[in-house]
């Protein structure tokens, strides 16, 4: 397989409502879409870099730069044996896993389509509907939060993740726990704490949370290991794991007992699968996180989450949790609390080209 034409496009897609985490709020997503052609088939990918460097050093602008100046030009016309080999010509590029993942995942979709196989099957997953959860941003007050949680539970989500930050943590979560004594709840701090907050983090430990996601700094593997030794609640790393090497180190140090795998954060499907395999060997459960993706990225996440080690519900929510209207057909919807798998080849959903065109801010093409 040889990509004959690659298109990179930025679209602007407003979230239905503001999404706030400890490092800041998002409302207007700048989404980078990748479209790759070969032998009459078309593969789609999405780069999850955000508007600002509050989650990762990568941003929409750095990803645009790295993709257009370094990653995409050498791939046009390059003969590839299989999707594991696709980034070989650009293996010298350091970091920028989000930029890398955008094109890598588009090529996985393309390969699966050329084989006439759904992406989940091509990745080695099972065909059953996937149990999913929802991530709830910081809310103006506890009542609004409780109302949101109630709504999502009614819609069938299997677990609810609550964003926390200093001042919106122990009291807020213990009130929520009182209202929802049996609900599988977890908290995500997006690196808002340090080891100086140990007494507070120990109070969170008594709330029966499934896990606490990324409580400490994005580079603080040693500190997470110290914290884990003080807590019974499992720590789940997100920001800290950008490669299989990071995962190996974190597991060796006992810095994490669950791993949030976001293919868009770790360089794509091959890297995600390697992290999945490593965790599985060591009996560490994984789940698929999200980055407020459009339907294109969501389709990739869902396909990945069919691998057997994804034993916990992921942040793969329905299209309408994010958008008034998604950019793919059909949109993603829960059925009996699960996300059914598309059965068509590749990602199995069709990007809506007219709508994408209308939302486009800029396009650059290579080859063709």
From 7, 58, 104, 238, residue interacting with Mg ion (rule: CB under 5 A)? 238
Q: Would residue 148 show up in a list of annotated catalytic residues for this protein?
A: no
Dist CA 310 CA 146 (whole Å): 28
| Cβ atoms 157, 134 nearer than 8 A | yes
Of 150-169, binders to Mg ion (CB under 5 A) are: none
Residue with the two structure tokens 């490092």:
23
Which of the following is catalytic: 163, 165, 202, 324? 163
Q: Any contact of residue 188 with Mg ion (CB under 5 A)?
A: yes
Distance of CA 16 to the CA centre of its chain: 19
Dist CA 243 CA 259 (whole Å): 12
Q: Cα angle vertex 49, ends 41, 344, to 5°?
A: 30
Dist CA 267 CA 244 (whole Å): 10
From 45, 125, 215, 289, residue interacting with ligand OSB (rule: CB under 6 A)? 289
Q: Any contact of residue 291 with ligand OSB (CB under 6 A)?
A: yes
Of 8-27, binders to ligand OSB (CB under 6 A) are: 21
Indicate the residue among 9 and 262 with the shorter CB distance to Mg ion.
262
Q: Any contact of residue 293 with Mg ion (CB under 5 A)?
A: no
Q: Cα angle vertex 100, ends 99, 103, to 5°?
A: 95
Environment class of residue 253 by beta-carbon count within 10 Å: exposed (0-12), middle (13-18) or buried (19+)? middle
Q: What mask, x for binding Mg ion by CB under 5 A, covers residues 189 to 228?
A: ------------------------x---------------
Residue 13 contact among Mg ion, ligand OSB, none, beta carbon within 5 to 8 Å by kind: none
| Cβ atoms 242, 265 nearer than 8 A | yes
Q: What is the dihedral of CA 96, 98, 104, 107, to 10 degrees?
A: -140
Core vs surface per residue 194-208: b (16+ CB within 10 A) or e: ebebeeebeebeebe
From 183, 190, 233, 319, residue interacting with ligand OSB (rule: CB under 6 A)? 190
| Cβ atoms 279, 247 nearer than 8 A | yes
Selected range binding ligand OSB among 122-130, 242-250, 289-297, 333-341, rule: CB under 6 A: 289-297
Residue 56 contact among ligand OSB, Mg ion, none, beta carbon within 5 to 8 Å by kind: none
Residue 292 contact among Mg ion, ligand OSB, none, beta carbon within 5 to 8 Å by kind: ligand OSB
Q: Any contact of residue 290 with ligand OSB (CB under 6 A)?
A: yes
Selected range binding ligand OSB among 37-45, 62-70, 116-124, 287-295, rule: CB under 6 A: 287-295
121 φ, ψ (degrees, to nearest 5) = -75, -40
From 310, 315, 326, 339, residue interacting with ligand OSB (rule: CB under 6 A)? 315
Q: Would residue 163 show up in a list of annotated catalytic residues for this protein?
A: yes
Q: Any contact of residue 323 with ligand OSB (CB under 6 A)?
A: no
Residue 158 contact among ligand OSB, Mg ion, none, beta carbon within 5 to 8 Å by kind: none
Verify cis geometry, omega within 30 degrees of 0, for the bond prior to 330: yes
Determine how many CB atoms are found less than 10 A away from the CB of residue 74.
14
Residue 255 contact among ligand OSB, Mg ion, none, beta carbon within 5 to 8 Å by kind: none
Q: Any contact of residue 10 with Mg ion (CB under 5 A)?
A: no
Cross-strand partners of 149: none
Dist CA 323 CA 346 (whole Å): 23
Residue 317 contact among Mg ion, ligand OSB, none, beta carbon within 5 to 8 Å by kind: ligand OSB
Indicate the residue among 87 and 160 with the shorter CB distance to ligand OSB.
160
Q: Does residue 281 come out as left (phi exceeding 0), alpha (psi in the -120 to 50 range) or beta?
A: alpha
Residue 290 contact among ligand OSB, Mg ion, none, beta carbon within 5 to 8 Å by kind: ligand OSB
Indicate the residue among 271 and 319 with the shorter CB distance to ligand OSB.
319
Dist CA 126 CA 90 (whole Å): 32
Q: Any contact of residue 292 with ligand OSB (CB under 6 A)?
A: yes
Query: What is the contact surface with ligand OSB in residues (CB under 6 A)?
Result: 21, 55, 135, 188, 190, 238, 289-292, 315, 317
Catalytic residue numbers, as ranges: 163, 262
């Amino acid at each position: 397989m040889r990509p004959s034409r690659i298109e990179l496009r930025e679209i602007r897609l407003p979230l239905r409502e503001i999404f706030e985490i400890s490092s800041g709020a998002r409302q207007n997503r700048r989404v980078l879409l990748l479209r790759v052609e070969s032998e009459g088939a078309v593969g789609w990918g999405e780069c999850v870099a955000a508007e600002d460097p509050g989650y990762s050093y990568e941003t929409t602008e750095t990803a645009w730069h790295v993709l257009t100046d370094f990653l995409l030009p050498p791939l046009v016309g390059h003969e590839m044996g299989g999707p594991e080999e696709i980034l070989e010509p650009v293996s010298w590029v350091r970091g920028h896993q989000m930029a890398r993942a955008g094109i890598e995942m588009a090529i996985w979709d393309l390969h699966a389509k050329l084989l006439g196989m759904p992406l989940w099957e091509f990745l080695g997953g099972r065909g059953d509907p996937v149990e999913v959860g929802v991530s709830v941003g910081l809310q103006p007050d506890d009542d609004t939060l409780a109302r949101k949680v109630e709504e999502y539970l009614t819609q069938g989500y299997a677990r609810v993740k609550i964003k926390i930050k200093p001042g919106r943590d122990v009291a807020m979560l213990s009130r929520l726990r009182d209202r929802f004594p049996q609900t599988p709840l977890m908290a995500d701090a997006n690196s808002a704490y340090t080891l100086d907050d140990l007494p507070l983090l120990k109070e969170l430990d008594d709330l029966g949370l499934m896990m606490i996601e990324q409580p400490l700094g994005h580079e603080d593997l040693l500190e997470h290991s110290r914290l884990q030794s003080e807590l019974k609640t499992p720590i789940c790393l997100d920001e800290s794991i950008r490669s299989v090497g990071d995962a190996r180190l974190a597991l060796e140090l006992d810095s994490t007992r669950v791993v949030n795998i976001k293919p868009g954060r770790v360089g794509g499907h091959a890297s995600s699968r390697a992290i999945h395999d490593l965790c599985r060997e060591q009996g560490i459960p994984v789940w698929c996180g999200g980055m407020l993706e459009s339907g294109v990225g969501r389709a990739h996440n869902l396909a990945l989450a069919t691998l057997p080690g994804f034993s916990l519900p992921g942040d793969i929510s329905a299209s309408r949790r994010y958008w008034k209207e998604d950019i793919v057909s059909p949109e993603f919807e829960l059925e009996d609390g699960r996300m059914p798998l598309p059965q068509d080849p590749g990602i199995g959903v069709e990007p809506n080209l007219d709508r994408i065109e209308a939302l486009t801010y800029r396009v650059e093409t290579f080859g063709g």
